[in-house]
Amino acid sequence: MKIEALQKLTLLDFPQKMACTVFTHGCNFRCPFCHNALLVTEKSQEQITPGDVLSFLRTRKGILDGVCITGGEPLLQEDIEEFMKAVKDMGFLVKLDTNGSFPKKLKKLCRSGLVDFVAMDIKNSQKKYALTAGKTAFDLSAVNESVEFLKKGDIPYEFRTTVTKNFHTTEDLLDIAEWISGCDAYYLQQFVDSGNLIDSTIEGYTNQELTAMYKEVKRKLPCTQLRGV
């Protein structure tokens, strides 16, 4: 596991749980609005080991409910299964953030009981996926496979889209709503400039603008919610 950072407490990342967040290194996407760009573009520093995280967790038994594993793209980590098992064996819940491009690994981890909640990014409408993921071309079949697997409802999940002026229109969001129709939860997330972006020219909509877009999407997909507004 290439772990770049550990946030020791979050009340936001794991729905209705008190958790910590583990940030893994590397991603197979290059989304221009990625707010963890150094995890994607820079060489791993590997300053935190899995053992460091597990040692920390031993001091938080009975205090924290779970561990969020994010990135980057965590499913790039070859030994993530072993790490998750160690976390679960200590009695913690596991939440996985993923871009959905590794459906076989996602299914295996979920079916093995190592994941309790999945948050999957839906980058954009299908026709604009490659552009938004920072790719010259992109085969959506893997992402579609992950979408369909999660929609079966084997474990709790959410889909989410970070909305930017540069890449997203109301029409795009309505196309996404049609694509993931029947899902349990879909969040439109307000873009926040972390100061650590792949493309520093990215802009967000105002809260009022995003709220108006949200209302349009919610008419089509009633489970849609707003985050960060």
What CATH number is given for 3-160+190-204 in this structure?
Answer: 3.20.20.70
Cα(100)–Cα(111) distance, rounded to whole angstroms?
A: 16
Provide mean pLDDT across the span 75-83: 96
| Tens-digit pLDDT profile for residues 100-129 | 999 999 999 999 999 999 999 999 999 999
Query: What are the backbone dihedrals phi and psi of residue 206, each rounded to the nearest 5 degrees, phi first?
Result: -65, 160
User: Amino acid identity, residue 111?
Assistant: R
Cα–Cα distances (Å) from 51 to 3, 89, 116, 157, in that order, read 11, 14, 22, 28
| % of the chain surpassing 70 pLDDT | 97
pLDDT at 17 over 80: yes
What pLDDT score was predicted for residue 44? 66
Question: Which of 5-14, 38-47, 93-102, 187-196 is predicted with the least confidence, judged by mean pLDDT?
Answer: 38-47
Cα(66)–Cα(151) distance, rounded to whole angstroms?
A: 23
pLDDT at 60 over 70: yes
| pTM of structure | 0.95
Helix axes 80-89, 103-111, angle to 10 degrees: 20
| Tens-digit pLDDT profile for residues 130-158 | 999 999 888 999 999 999 999 998 899 99
Take residue 17 and report the two structure tokens written for it.
């749980």
Provide mean pLDDT across the span 11-37: 91
* Confidence tier at 34 by pLDDT (50, 70, 90): confident
What pLDDT score was predicted for residue 36? 76
* 151 or 1: which leads in pLDDT: 151
For the chain, give the mean pLDDT: 94
* Confidence tier at 185 by pLDDT (50, 70, 90): very high
Closest CA to 127 of 137, 119, 118, 116: 137
